[in-house]
Amino acid sequence: MRVPIIAVFAGGTSKENEVSRGSGAACALGLSRSFTTRLFHITADALPDGYDPEAHIVFSTLHGTFGEDGGMQRLLDAAGGAYAGCDAFSSALTMDKDLTKRTVAERGVPVAEGLAFAARSKPAAPEVVARLGTQLVMKPNNEGSSVGLHIIGDAEGLAAALATVTEGRWIIERKIEGREISVGVLNGRALGIVEIRPNSGVFDYASKYTKGASRYVAPAPLGDALTARAKLLAETAFAACGCRDFARIDFMISSRDELFLLEINTLPGMKETSLLPMCAHCAGLDFTALVREMVSPAVERFRLGTATRRP
C-alpha cells in the first residue's frame, strides 16, 4: 500500500471561509512535519480536482455549512475516502444546535431552556417572553463561529431581533450569566480547559476573530471538582452525539457553578492560537503533536480499509 498523503481542505463556500483558510494553512504546515501533505483550496460544494481517495487522507478545516454539517463528509464517504474527524452522521447532528441539545440532554448533560423555530413560523415576542423571560440569546440553528448571534435584554429587543429573521431555522435560549469555557476532546478523552473572557462580555464573531478582543486563561481556574465535571460532561456529550477523533465542546458556567452545554464544534478553528490547540497545550501537546494525533485514527482507518465504516 502506498504511503498516504494528508490532503488538507481549506476555504469552502460558507460565511466562515476566511477563518477556514487560516486554519488550513496552519494545519498544513503542522502536518507537513510528520506526513507528506497537500493543501487544497475548496471553492465549491464538491470534491476538488486532484483528490484521490486511494492516495489521500483528508484533514478538513472547512468551517460552517457544507464543511461541518456532513455535506463534505457524505461526498468523501461516497468516494470511499478516509478522513479525520466526525463522520457525516455526527457532523450533521452536531451542526443542528437544537438536535444536539436534545441528544445530550438525554444523557444527562445540562442545556439552557429554549425553543427552536423556522423563519416561516417564528413565534411572537410576547409568547417567547412568557416562556423564557427577556434575558435571551438568539442564533441560527445551523451556523458556527457565532454568525448571526443576538444578545437580547428586553421585549423590544426581542421583537427587533425576530424582525430580522427571514429564512432558515433559529434557536432562542434563556441567557446563562456567567463564565464561558471550551473543553478539547481528543479520541474521546478531554484535554485541558480554556476560559474565554471577551472584553465586550459576549463571545461573538468579532470577539473571536479580532486580535485583542478577548482574553484566554489556560488552564481555566475552575478548581478540581468543577474541572472534573466539565471534562466528564464534555466526554459524555462527545459520545452521545457519536463523535470520533476530536472536537471542541463549549459550556457556560452559571454563578452557582452549574454547567450548561453551548455547542459541539466538530471542526473548530485550528490556528496555533485557537481554542483547541490551547486546550491541547494544557495537556502537554504542542501544535505539531496535536495535529498528528488528530489525523492518526484516520491513517489507521486508511490502512485497514475501514474508511467508510461507521464505528
Catalytic residue among 263, 274, 292, 301: 263
Compute φ and ψ for 44, nearest 5 degrees.
-145, 165
**Distance in angstroms (rounded) separating the CA atoms of residues 82 and 298:** 6
Tell me whether strands 136-140 and 150-152 are parallel, antiparallel or unpaired.
Answer: antiparallel
Catalytic residue among 265, 274, 292, 301: 265
Q: Which listed residue (12, 14, 16, 184) is catalytic? A: 16
> Is 187 considered catalytic here?
no
Among the listed residues 14, 145, 182, 274, the single catalytic one is: 145
The answer to whether residue 199 is catalytic is: no
Catalytic residue among 144, 148, 184, 269: 269
DSSP 3: P
Q: Alpha-carbon distance 286 to 236, whole Å?
A: 25
Q: Tell me, yes or no, if 269 is annotated catalytic.
A: yes
> For this structure, is 16 an active site residue?
yes
Residue 79 cell numbers, joined: 468516494
- Which amino acid is present at 224? D
Candidates 209, 242, 272, 296; catalytic one: 209
Cα separation, 293 vs 27, in Å, equals: 12
C-alpha to C-alpha distance for 121 and 126, rounded to whole angstroms: 15
Let me know: does 298 contact 57? Beta carbons within 8 Å: yes
Decide if 246 contacts 294 (C-beta within 8 A): yes
- Tell how strand 214-217 and strand 189-198 pair up: antiparallel
Does the annotation count 180 as an active-site position? no
Does the active-site annotation cover 212?
no
Catalytic residue among 244, 248, 292, 301: 248
Which cell goes with 29? 504546515
Asked if residue 60 lies in contact with residue 67, where contact means CB atoms within 8 angstroms, the answer is yes
Check: CB of residue 242 under 8 Å from CB of residue 111.
Answer: no
Q: Which of 214, 250, 292, 301 is catalytic?
A: 250
Q: Judge whether 263 counts as a catalytic residue.
A: yes
Residue 279 and residue 281: Cα distance in Å, rounded? 5
Residues with a catalytic annotation lie at 16, 145, 209, 248, 250, 263, 265, 269
